[in-house]
Amino acid sequence: MEFEIEYQRGRRRKRRRSAAAKLLIWIFQIAAVIFLAYFIINIVLEKTSMLGDSMEVTLSDGDVIIVNKFAYLLRPPKRGDVVVFKQSGNEHDYYDIKRVVGLPGETVQIMDGAVYINGELMPEKINCEKMLIPGLAKDRFTLEEEEYFVLGDNRNNSEDSRFANIGTIVREEIVGKAWLRLNEFGFIGTMNRYKEDAEEKP
């Protein structure tokens, strides 16, 4: 009799331990999902909107953009990337979105409406107009370490590195890479490319 009672007690303890283990696993799974969602939303990705038409026809005013904040953790921005940045000291609370043209250590100059990198004409991979105003890039200058020269795709209606109120940007000011356009869904890296470049990865 005593053996049977002890046996039943043992079974109840095992059931309680099993239920407790299942509860702990369930709590851990919920916590992991919450952490992953927080990490993706706040660390890896961010949503913003395009303001103005400086990136036409690639991006239009009001387009909702997903920013990949993880893109430049292991590698620097490359030429042609559309980057999202906020410059230090600017009072406005919105992000700027422009395309990287000049990289650290390169010389940049705008002549006859085109960009010259290290004295050579830069082949354009996007559809854009010849620039009417070279601005600060009228004379050749060299980008410093961690410094980038950016332009809007709407070259004749864009405030960008040609103008003093924007100027060049530095690596630490870059929030991330403009990755997806949510309305009229598409990868930004493949938009507005010449036909021969349309199959490149975003």
Alpha helices per DSSP H over 40-161: none
Catalytic residue among 69, 98, 158, 177: 98
| 139, 107 Cβ separation under 8 angstroms | no
Q: Which residues contact 141 (CB under 8 A, 6 or more apart)?
A: 107, 108, 109
What's phi and psi for 130, nearest 5 deg? Answer: -65, 140
Within 10 A of 107 (CB to CB), how many other CB atoms are there?
A: 15
Residue 22 is among the residues annotated as catalytic for this protein = no
Place of tokens 């940049």: 108
Catalytic residue among 18, 22, 47, 54: 54
Q: Which residues contact 110 (CB under 8 A, 6 or more apart)?
A: 116, 131, 134, 135, 137, 138, 162
Residue 158 is among the residues annotated as catalytic for this protein = no
Query: Among all residues, which ones are annotated catalytic?
Result: 54, 98
